[in-house]
């Protein structure tokens, strides 16, 4: 059974019951153990950070959460159910959306069309039923357009909606990627280094949008981030990974004062 109690964070924020419970996860690539017997949970409405040095296994962990990788050992419990082997699109239909460490957009397509691809999981009408049930297809199209326009307004990218993504500066590309993920209206949003490579101003913008998404839509967010200042500002709880192991788990303050974490991560240069 998953824990359904709410908890209150030191900042006075209320966080709901367990949405995802990762139990004793081990993931191997050939002889490499990218994740070694890691357990932690993600609770409804929280911002959960995963931090650690390069190669620690953070992206692999996000890929386990998204269903892209199926671990060799351990259990993934999602919304009260033990997750069987699922294809990524099936996971997307369960309300999980993500952005990637390396931007994965269609460079030649407009911002609008890229964001529209985030709606693919919501397009149930196939060609045949479109021919027969024209009204239903038209209604779905209207709903999809409306959802996309809401996201474009929310992330303040109206001015670039017709611009090919390839022509945008890096910071805006990252924002378009967030827009595409949000267009799916996920209940769990996974962000792999959403602020990597950004300047200070771009980081501030992205931080604000992440907080606004969490606040306005109640979206649960798991994010990987290197900038400790950002992690401390944004997250409710932090998991710390090092060489595939979990070496810390707690509030930002708890993690910051954990000696193992200081030794492994905070004291050394990264990236």
**Of 28, 20, 70, 49, nearest in space to 251 by CA:** 49
- Identity of the residue, 48 or 58, whose beta carbon is nearer to ligand ADP in the bound complex: 58
Instruction: Rule CB under 5 A: say whether 63 interacts with Mg ion.
Output: no
Which x/- pattern, by CB under 6 A, does the window 121-150 give for ligand ADP? ------------------------------
Radius of gyration of the chain (CA): 19
Instruction: Rule CB under 6 A: say whether 58 interacts with ligand ADP.
Output: yes
Alpha-carbon torsion (256, 260, 261, 262), positive or negative? positive
Instruction: Rule CB under 6 A: say whether 99 interacts with ligand ADP.
Output: no
Instruction: Rule CB under 6 A: say whether 32 interacts with ligand ADP.
Output: yes
Instruction: Rule CB under 6 A: say whether 98 interacts with ligand ADP.
Output: no
Q: Which stretch binds ligand ADP (CB under 6 A): 14-22, 55-63, 118-126, 260-268?
A: 55-63
Instruction: Rule CB under 5 A: say whether 219 interacts with Mg ion.
Output: no
Instruction: Rule CB under 5 A: say whether 66 interacts with Mg ion.
Output: no
Q: Which stretch binds ligand ADP (CB under 6 A): 26-34, 79-87, 150-158, 207-215?
A: 26-34
Supply the minimum distance, in Å, between the C-beta of residue 50 and ligand ADP.
8
d(CA 46, CA 258): 21
d(CA 149, CA 128): 27
Supply the minimum distance, in Å, between the C-beta of residue 60 and ligand ADP.
3
Tell the burial category of 202 from Cβ atoms under 10 Å away from its Cβ (0-12, 13-18, 19+).
middle
**Of 178, 171, 172, nearest in space to 192 by CA:** 178
Instruction: Rule CB under 6 A: say whether 18 interacts with ligand ADP.
Output: no
The β-bridge relationship of strands 237-242 and 245-250 is antiparallel
State how far Cα 173 lies from the chain centre: 16
d(CA 21, CA 74): 10
Number of residues binding to ligand ADP, judged by CB under 6 A: 11
DSSP-based three-state secondary structure for 53? coil
Among 60, 66, 219, 258, binds ligand ADP (CB under 6 A): 60
Among 56, 91, 111, 184, binds ligand ADP (CB under 6 A): 56
Residue 262, CA distances (Å) to 194, 196, 232, 252, 258 in order: 23, 21, 14, 12, 6
Could you tell which of ligand ADP, Mg ion, none binds residue 34, using a CB distance below 5 to 8 A set by kind? ligand ADP
Instruction: Rule CB under 6 A: say whether 59 interacts with ligand ADP.
Output: yes
| Token reading at 194 | 């959403």
| Token reading at 127 | 């060609």
Among 15, 21, 27, 59, binds Mg ion (CB under 5 A): 59
Where along the sequence are the contacts to ligand ADP (CB under 6 A)?
29, 32, 34, 52, 54-60
């Amino acid at each position: 059974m998953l824990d359904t109690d709410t908890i209150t964070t030191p900042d006075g924020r209320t966080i709901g019951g367990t949405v995802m419970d990762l139990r004793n996860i081990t993931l191997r690539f050939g002889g490499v153990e990218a994740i070694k017997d890691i357990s932690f949970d993600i609770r409804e409405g929280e911002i959960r950070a995963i931090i650690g040095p390069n190669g620690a296994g953070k992206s692999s962990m996000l890929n386990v959460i998204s269903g892209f990788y199926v671990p060799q050992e351990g259990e993934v419990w999602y919304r009260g159910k033990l997750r069987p082997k699922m294809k990524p699109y099936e996971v997307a239909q369960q309300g999980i959306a993500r952005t990637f460490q390396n931007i994965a957009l269609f460079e030649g397509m407009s911002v609008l069309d890229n964001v529209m691809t985030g709606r693919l999981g919501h397009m149930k009408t196939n060609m045949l039923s479109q021919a027969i049930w024209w009204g239903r297809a038209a209604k779905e199209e209207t709903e999809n357009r409306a959802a996309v326009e809401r996201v474009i307004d929310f992330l303040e990218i109206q001015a670039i909606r017709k611009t090919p993504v390839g022509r945008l500066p890096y910071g805006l590309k990252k924002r378009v990627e967030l827009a595409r993920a949000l267009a799916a209206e996920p209940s769990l949003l996974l962000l792999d280094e959403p602020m990597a490579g950004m300047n200070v101003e771009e980081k501030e913008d992205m931080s604000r949008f992440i907080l606004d998404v969490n606040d306005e839509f109640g979206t649960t967010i798991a994010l990987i981030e290197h900038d400790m200042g950002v992690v401390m500002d944004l997250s409710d709880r932090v998991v710390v990974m090092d060489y595939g192991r979990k070496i810390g788990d707690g509030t930002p303050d708890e993690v910051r004062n954990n000696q193992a974490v200081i030794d492994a991560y905070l004291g050394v240069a990264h990236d």
